[in-house]
Amino acid sequence: MIGKKLESELNKQINAELYSAYLYLAMSAFFEDKNLKGFANWTRVQAQEEVSHAMKIFDYVNERGGRATMAAIDGPENEWKDTIAVFDQIYQHEQKVTGLINHLVDLATAEKDHATFNMLQWFVAEQVEEEASASEILEKLKFIDGNGAGLIMLDKELEARVFTPPAAE
What pLDDT does residue 114 have? 98
What pLDDT does residue 71 have? 96
pLDDT in tens, 27-37: 999 999 999 99
Report how far residue 153's alpha carbon sits from residue 32's, in angstroms, rounded to the nearest whole number: 16
Evaluate whether residue 168 is within a structural domain: no
What pLDDT does residue 165 have? 84
pLDDT in tens, 116-139: 999 999 999 999 999 999 999 999
Residue 104: give its domain's CATH number.
1.20.1260.10
Report how far residue 65's alpha carbon sits from residue 13's, in angstroms, rounded to the nearest whole number: 17
Q: What separation in angstroms does the CA of 33 have from each of 6, 45, 75, 146, 163?
A: 40, 17, 19, 16, 22
Q: What's the mean pLDDT in 48-61?
A: 98
Evaluate whether residue 57 is within a structural domain: yes
Evaluate whether residue 167 is within a structural domain: no
Evaluate whether residue 58 is within a structural domain: yes
Burial class (CB in 10 A: 0-12, 13-18, 19+), 156: exposed
Q: Which residues contact 55 (CB under 8 A, 6 or more apart)?
A: none
pLDDT > 90? residue 168 = no
**pTM of the prediction?**
0.93
Please state the domain count of the chain.
1
pLDDT > 60? residue 169 = no
Evaluate whether residue 165 is within a structural domain: no
Q: In the chain, where do the E strands start and end?
A: none
Evaluate whether residue 113 is within a structural domain: yes
What pLDDT does residue 27 have? 98
Evaluate whether residue 100 is within a structural domain: yes
What is the chain's mean pLDDT, rounded?
Answer: 96
pLDDT in tens, 33-52: 999 999 999 999 999 999 99
What pLDDT does residue 54 have? 98
Q: What separation in angstroms does the CA of 42 have from each of 14, 156, 157?
A: 22, 10, 9
